Amino acid sequence: MVDFTLTDEQKSLRELAHDFAEGEIRPVAWEHDKDGSFPMEVLKKAHEVGLMNTHAPEKFGGAGLGYLDGCIIEEELAWGCSGIQTSLGCNGLASAPVALGGSDEVQAEFFGELTETLKLASFCLTEPDAGSDVSGMRTRAVKVDGGYRLNGSKCFITNGGYADWFTVYAKTDPDAGHRGISAFLVRKDDTVIVDKKEDKMGQRASNTATITFNDTFVPAKYLLGEENKGFKLAMMTLDRTRPGVAAMATGIARSAFEFARDYSKERVQFGVPIAMHQAIQFMIADMATKVHLSRLATWNSAVLLDQGKRNTLESSHAKRFASDSAMEVATDAVQVYGGYGFIKEYPVEKLMRDAKIMQLYEGTSQIQRLVIARETLLPRRVEEPANA
């Protein structure tokens, strides 16, 4: 039986997240967007009420929530502001490789820190010459007595300017392409430099920085998984986090849809609200359909993970469709507002700027199509486990 009915616990989570988004995020979202400031006060409140680090295992002090639970929360918080949600949720991306490749000792150490107090972590994969082409990275990790020495730069790092530790991917075998990449946990110290804060078009409440590692020492125990197996770890991580990105895109689209729907009932042209005109009705209907289908695809990709199944194809379907739909819905919302939609005094222009990044980070829409094509042309058995 297929059933998308939420449990009472999931309904309570959704209500908690929605109330937090409405009461704590939306009132400050447009001000943080205007000046590009970091919403630390919101993060502190989110940590206090348990809306951060939701996937941290219970045995390490976390809530141990499932992937569907996380998507329910992420949609609501992104409905409030996707930039603030990106800041809130980044720990999940950075810590997923810890859960997949860290020893029990390392997991206890790092998950324990995240749950005990407000600490931030960053995921460091992208480089100026290695975005979609991960194998082109230049960051090097050289084995030394007791661990590794790390050198190189990573760009577009979420929460990079505020992170206490980083999950870093580096070449341990520079001649082996993606088969020569390893993953490490790196604590912030004097050798870790925040080089640049990016001035972004959208999601301006999210800190995005360039991080440089200058002969940074990494103890051997902080190697995640096996040496030279970091690429597989990164891909397994993204399979687990793309449903959350799709949920965020759904939240943006839903917010834009709701603003456009309500405005269309208030704005009068030719003697009637513009919602009475068929041209506008069709736009609103298309928005509603895209939001609805984005959520269903997102939930499906998350439920597979909760069932222990591989979700590579489904997470790419969800991420691609939801992110493209968010851009389309936000653009149409601006259209519904007409000239007012182009003015910063009105909310939908921010949503349109925020939506664009959803098509870019954690795998562009084009990369998702490549994954979908590969998985469709060379399908695997549906019962294959998630860690395959």
**Tens digit of pLDDT for each residue in 239-260?**
999 999 999 999 999 999 999 9
Architecture per CATH, 8-116: Orthogonal Bundle (1.10)
Name which of 321, 294, 318, 324 is nearest 305 in CA terms. Answer: 318
Supply the pTM of this predicted model: 0.95
Predicted local confidence at residue 299, as pLDDT: 98
Q: What is the pLDDT of residue 131?
A: 85
- pLDDT band at residue 130 under the 50/70/90 scheme: confident
Catalytic (active-site) positions: 362
pLDDT surpasses 80 at 382: no
Fold for the domain defined by 121-229: Butyryl-CoA Dehydrogenase, subunit A; domain 2 (2.40.110)
Helix (H, G, I), strand (E, B) or coil at 314: helix
Q: What is the dihedral of CA 15, 202, 296, 257, to 10 degrees?
A: 80
Q: Over range 110-120, report the average pLDDT.
A: 96
The pLDDT value recorded for residue 332 is: 98
Domain 231-377 CATH superfamily = Butyryl-CoA Dehydrogenase, subunit A, domain 3 (1.20.140.10)
CA dihedral 325, 330, 331, 333 (to 10 degrees): 120
| Residue 129 vs residue 173, higher pLDDT | 173
Over 90: is that where the pLDDT of 147 sits? yes
CB 213 within 8 A of CB 155: no
Task: Tell me the pLDDT tens digit for each residue of 228-243.
Answer: 999 999 999 999 999 9
Domain boundaries, the chain: 8-116, 121-229, 231-377
Stated as kind and residue range, the H or E segment containing 166 is strand 165-171
d(CA 94, CA 197): 19
pLDDT for res 381: 57
